[in-house]
Amino acid sequence: MAKSTRMTFCSFCGKAQNEVRKMIAGPAGVHICDSCVSVCKTIIDRELSESAENAKPKDDAIQRSLQST
């Protein structure tokens, strides 16, 4: 008879520990798998680069709006 082991599931995508390469445990019994970490990193990198671009003055847009008026 197989010994019952405590299975953990990703709190984000719901995959079981044996379906992912790495499961990271957080506080209060939450877990995140390596693929969700990868997705989160992609989102964070994209949003941070977008906000960095938004912080720059958009010379092209300003010049275009001046020329159109």
In the complex, which residues of this chain contact Zn ion (CB under 5 A)?
A: 10, 12-13, 33, 36
Q: Which is nearer to Zn ion, 30 or 62 (CB)?
A: 30
Which residue, 8 or 36, has its beta carbon nearer to Zn ion? 36
Compute the least distance from the CB of residue 4 to Zn ion, in Å: 23
Name the residue whose CB lies closest to Zn ion: 10
Dihedral pair phi/psi, residue 32, rounded to 5°? -140, 140
Question: What residue type is assigned to position 54 of the chain?
Answer: N
35: left (phi over 0), alpha (psi -120 to 50) or beta: alpha
